[in-house]
Amino acid sequence: MLRVPEERFPRRDPAALAGFMAFCRDEARRDGRPRLGSISLEVPHIDPLAVLQSIYAPDELHFYLEKPSVGEAIAGADAVESGTFAGAQRFSAVRDWASEVQSRLIAIGDLDTPRAGPHFFVGFAFADEPGPGGVFAPATVFLPRWQVAASQGRYVAVANVRVTPDTDVDALAARVRAAHAKFSAFPYAATAATAESATPTAIAETGGTGWFEAAVTDALARIRAGAYRKIVLARALDLTHATPFLPLDALNHLRERFPACFGFSLANGRGQSFIGATPELLARLQGRNLLTEALAGSAPRGATASADAQLGRALLSRTKDMHEHQVVLEAIVRRLNNLGLTDVTAEHARLLLLPNVQHLWSPVSATLPPSLHLLDVLATLHPTPAVGGQPRQAARPDIARLERFDRGLYAGTVGWFDHRGDGEFVVAIRSALMDGPRARLFAGAGIVEGSVPADEKAETDLKLAALLEALR
């Protein structure tokens, strides 16, 4: 990416912006390749989810990721460049695609503001190949036309525009000026309140009743036979409603209820959105500092402080849950070591408290060498034993055999990376696929020696209840 110094166009006025666009056009004329001009401006307070809700269009790609408890949020809409990929090399294919796009990027503006500059938004499905009836590709990546972010108490708006050798730079500059003026004092669209109930008219277990407990029993037999140490099995509920669900409204309910989780949304531009509130970070890279985590083992929350503490203490001492957590932690550390990272540090399990459930959680950190990209880490970690199994080569075929639906983006990963290589990806669990008046809700549980089918179903019931509540 070429960064244009502020001194080149020191005045932030229409003439300077048109001059920058003309510079991008000249670069496009030089070798006949279109250029991508990226303009970042720091703005007053802005809420990325509210902005996305105001400009939401079902026929456009969009992306959103937020962790309300730390004041971090980013959203992007409408693709100026996009790509889809499949196959075992899909992570490296996205990396190579982004590298080519970056070679045509020319950026200017407040690039030292947190979350400024062009960002690539990505969704990786659970599987390398598309499943039957899948609505998302195994890998989707796009550079948005419009991007807004909040980070460290500061706010930024970014416009990314395509500039060809024959672009009308004055007209393009006028559109960018209008957009930035709008984002500087965003006129959030008013939404009319409705008394209509969002309670679904029908709720059905995907695959029928009783199959999940039978699948857990089958998996336990395979574990005792030595096929694998752990497998994660998921359930899905199919919901229908008289009118279309509003995915971003549901997402707002989720962020209000689960501020310590990562709220996310990825739309495919054909009317379907995948939303959720996940507690699980897959990988975050800032500078060369890499952070990931092991999250496995669950218990309900108590109605009183004493009951809650008792449940938490029991979780920390329960053999089945500590074993499940250790399987995940050991696999993550081993995979990072296999990637060549030599300073991997894993912390002891502690409790992660959410409004409806508590988990065993261990942060894992390391230093990523310059020779590796964040996407190389994702390719190594995905799927972790927290959503797949261990060994994953043995567990993944049984997931496909035992489950009654295609996972799609469920248990995949969604996130972003920027022009510096920094980025953040989360595990797409506690999630729902929204498609007009239909929605499919997903939740899973880890099966290890000592699991009880009825208990595992109860765990998934608890996770699905939070999603049902958000849709109501």
Per residue in 90-108, pLDDT (tens digit) is 999 999 999 999 999 999 9
Query: Does the pLDDT at position 371 exceed 50?
Result: yes
CATH number of the CATH domain containing 322? 3.60.120.10
Question: What range defines the domain where residue 152 resides?
Answer: 2-184
Structure tokens given for 411? 């248990």
Q: Within this chain, do residues 226 and 150 fall inside the same structural domain, yes or no?
A: no
Q: Within this chain, do residues 297 and 368 fall inside the same structural domain, yes or no?
A: yes
Q: How many CA atoms lie within 13 A of 239 on its CB side?
A: 26
Of the candidates 143, 105, 110, the one whose C-alpha atom is nearest the C-alpha of residue 27 is 105
Residue 413 three-state SS: strand
Q: Within this chain, do residues 120 and 233 fall inside the same structural domain, yes or no?
A: no
Percent of the chain with pLDDT over 70: 98
Average pLDDT over residues 124-138: 94
Q: Within this chain, do residues 370 and 230 fall inside the same structural domain, yes or no?
A: yes
Q: Within this chain, do residues 318 and 456 fall inside the same structural domain, yes or no?
A: yes
Residue 180 is inside which H or E element, if any? helix 169-184
What per-residue confidence (pLDDT) applies to 200?
Answer: 72
User: What's the distance, CA 455 to chain centroid?
Assistant: 28
Cα(211)–Cα(230) distance, integer angstroms: 19
Give a yes or no: residue 120 inside a domain. Answer: yes
What per-residue confidence (pLDDT) applies to 288?
Answer: 94
- Residue 151 CA: distances (Å) to CA of 51, 65, 71, 115, 403: 15, 12, 6, 7, 39
Give a yes or no: residue 261 inside a domain. Answer: no
Q: Within this chain, do residues 176 and 214 fall inside the same structural domain, yes or no?
A: no
Q: What is the DSSP letter of 273?
A: E
Give a yes or no: residue 219 inside a domain. Answer: yes
User: Taking all residues of the chain, what is their mean pLDDT, rounded to a whole number?
Assistant: 93
Question: Which residues lie below 8 Å from residue 279, measured CB to CB, with a gap of 6+?
Answer: 258, 260, 261, 262, 295, 352, 354, 359, 430
- Convert the pLDDT of each residue in 408-440 to its tens digit: 999 999 999 999 999 999 999 999 999 999 999
Confidence of residue 218 (pLDDT cuts 50, 70, 90): very high
Give a yes or no: residue 47 inside a domain. Answer: yes
Give a yes or no: residue 429 inside a domain. Answer: no
Number of domains in the chain: 2
What per-residue confidence (pLDDT) applies to 133?
Answer: 82
Q: Which amino acid makes up residue 153?
A: G
Structure tokens given for 413? 């990963």
Average pLDDT over residues 317-342: 94
Check if the beta carbon of residue 440 is closer than 8 Å to that of residue 464.
no
Average pLDDT over residues 375-401: 95
Query: Does the pLDDT at position 195 exceed 50?
Result: no
Cα(289)–Cα(259) distance, integer angstroms: 25
Give a yes or no: residue 26 inside a domain. Answer: yes
Query: Does the pLDDT at position 193 exceed 50?
Result: no
**Exposed/middle/buried for 32, CB within 10 Å: 0-12, 13-18, 19+?**
exposed
What per-residue confidence (pLDDT) applies to 189?
Answer: 66
Q: Within this chain, do residues 291 and 397 fall inside the same structural domain, yes or no?
A: yes
Residue 365 three-state SS: strand
Q: Within this chain, do residues 125 and 165 fall inside the same structural domain, yes or no?
A: yes
The residue ranges of DSSP E strands in 329-409, in sequence order, are: 345-346, 350-353, 357-367, 389-390
Strand duo 345-346 + 139-151: pairing: unpaired
* Catalytic residue IDs: 230, 280
Structure tokens given for 377? 């880490």
Percent of the chain with pLDDT over 90: 85
What per-residue confidence (pLDDT) applies to 362?
Answer: 97
Q: Within this chain, do residues 72 and 108 fall inside the same structural domain, yes or no?
A: yes
